[in-house]
Amino acid sequence: MRDNVERWLIHESLPFDQVKNEENSFQILVKHAGRYGIPIEIFEPKAQLGILVLGVKIEMKNNQIIRYREFNQDEKAKFANKVSDFCNSIEAISKIITEDGKQKIAIYVVLDDKENINQQSMFNAIDSISEKHEKTSRFLLKTF
């Protein structure tokens, strides 16, 4: 699968880097992808070979991070549910993560139909996750 993804990215002249991650059989960071030119990670989880996952991370603004860190566990759970409900409505999977000392919302699109993972379906998913990134960013600005 890695060879196919790399070939498709090269064919479209998209710059990318390999990323080390023990949980994935491969992970690629596409530097500027989709309609909005955002960084997108593409990977195949070792636990689910044959599945292609595309993900983006939305960094919370400093004031949002401060507010989030002041939440108690119940408030954090409510916020996570609110984000999850929104992401479900736009057909994405979400997770609140801490990376480089910052709170981020990671959203993912999963391609799991092994017979239909091809160049076109991957680039459709890149456009889709790029659009979902923008919608989720706007959602965070409006609701948090």
Domain extent listing, the chain: 2-143
Which tokens go with 85?
A: 């409900």
Rg (CA), the chain: 16
Mean pLDDT, residues 6-14? 94
What percent of the chain clears pLDDT 70, i.e. is strictly above it?
100
Q: Give me the pLDDT at residue 115, please.
A: 77
Contact, 129 vs 109, CB < 8 A? yes
Question: Cβ atoms within 10 A of the Cβ of 20, count?
Answer: 7
Q: Residue 112 and residue 118: Cα distance in Å, rounded?
A: 11
88: left (phi over 0), alpha (psi -120 to 50) or beta: alpha
Q: Any idea which fold 2-143 has?
A: Yope Regulator; Chain: A, (3.30.1460)
Q: Has this prediction a pTM greater than 0.85?
A: yes
